[in-house]
């Protein structure tokens, strides 16, 4: 069962400059940052608030580390802006299977490692009214690497 909006992914050309905009304009600070080599991105997670299920909601700022990454290709075509929305779930495997059974294409056969050691998969935007949608199961407390 989907429990919250986990994050909104925003693609950007310059991560440091974009982080500074969100810090100076809204007061959001970086909660976590990392480079995800598999997905070809450098990212910063800005925590917006805690949620009633023990999770949190974030803005995820994404800068491609290579032009052939999914975010790099998306930026080349669309420019900066909202890239995807992610919903939190206690069980990404079960929810992805349930959604697949409803005719929505799930992009990864098996969930992959995401930000902060989460487990993730994506749903095809053409099956989600044009919105790239991510499902996220957060890492257990104490499991996350900063």
Q: Catalytic residues, which ones?
A: 7, 43, 60, 84, 134
Report the DSSP beta bridge partners of residue 123.
106, 133
Strand, helix or coil at 18? Answer: helix
Q: How many CB atoms lie within 10 A of CB 126?
A: 11
Which burial class, exposed, middle or buried, applies to 67 when counting CB atoms under 10 A from its CB (0-12, 13-18, 19+)? exposed
């Amino acid at each position: 069962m989907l429990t919250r909006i986990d994050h909104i992914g925003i693609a950007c050309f310059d991560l440091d400059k974009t982080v500074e905009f969100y810090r100076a304009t809204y007061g959001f600070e970086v909660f976590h940052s990392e480079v995800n080599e598999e997905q070809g991105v450098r990212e910063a997670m800005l925590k917006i608030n805690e949620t009633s299920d023990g999770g949190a909601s974030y803005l995820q700022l994404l800068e491609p580390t290579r032009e052939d990454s999914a975010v790099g290709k998306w930026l080349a075509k669309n420019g900066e802006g909202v890239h995807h929305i992610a919903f939190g779930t206690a069980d990404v495997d079960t929810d992805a299977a349930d959604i697949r059974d409803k005719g929505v294409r799930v992009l990864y056969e098996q969930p992959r490692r995401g930000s902060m050691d989460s487990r993730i998969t994506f749903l095809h935007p053409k099956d989600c009214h044009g919105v790239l949608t991510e499902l996220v199961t957060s890492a257990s407390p104490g499991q996350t690497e900063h």
